[in-house]
Amino acid sequence: MNVCTLSGNIGRDAELRHTASGDAVAGWSLAVSTGSRDKPETMWVDCVIYGKRAESLAQYMVKGTKIVASGRLTQRSYTTKAGEARTGLQLSVDQVEFTSRRESSERPSERPAAAQREKSSDPFDGFEDELPF
């Protein structure tokens, strides 16, 4: 059984295209952290999703968004524009879960309220550094 679940940040905005038969295909890259705190490493995985889900999700798959994607993992071979043979990982996505939103994707009216909540959430805000007793 080939089932893979990856968590990471979208590395490039999704590209929506249509095949010759008219089927929708959306593709993006996913940056997955694989190293340790002392030696961070990133594995890049190309993700694709098909059909109506591709059409509806492509607009939300923007660079920097953190997602969890599940599907079938395959290794594919391709040739670069320079003529070099390469291989890469590709995840044919069945399920996507958004785990965070980019700040820039928030509506401008939501930003001040969020900033206000962050300021007022400190219970010691307004107290001086010295204790009164």
Q: Provide DSSP, 19-78.
A: -TT--EEEEEEEEEE-S-SSS--EEEEEEEEEHHHHHHHGGG--TT-EEEEEEEEEEEEE
| Tokens 């889900």, residue located | 53
- Residue 37 is predicted with a pLDDT of 87
Q: 3-state class of 106 per DSSP? A: coil
Interatomic CA distance for residues 71 and 6, integer angstroms: 9
- Domain for residue 56, yes or no? yes
- Domain for residue 72, yes or no? yes
- Residue 88: CA count within 13 A, CB half-sphere: 17
Residue-wise pLDDT tens digits, 14-49: 999 999 999 999 999 999 999 888 999 999 999 999
- Domain for residue 133, yes or no? no
Residue-wise pLDDT tens digits, 92-124: 999 999 997 655 544 444 444 444 444 444 555
Q: Which two tokens stand for residue 39?
A: 């030696």
- Domain for residue 125, yes or no? no
- Domain for residue 71, yes or no? yes
- Domain for residue 126, yes or no? no
Say whether pLDDT at 126 is over 90.
no
- Domain for residue 106, yes or no? yes
Q: How many structural domains compose the chain? A: 1
| Tokens 């010295």, residue located | 130
- Residue 85 is predicted with a pLDDT of 94
Kindly report the CATH number assigned to the domain that includes residue 43: 2.40.50.140
Residue-wise pLDDT tens digits, 43-73: 999 999 999 999 999 999 999 999 999 999 9
- Domain for residue 61, yes or no? yes
Residue 65 domain boundaries: 4-120
> CB-based contacts of 18: which residues, under 8 Å, 6+ apart?
24, 25
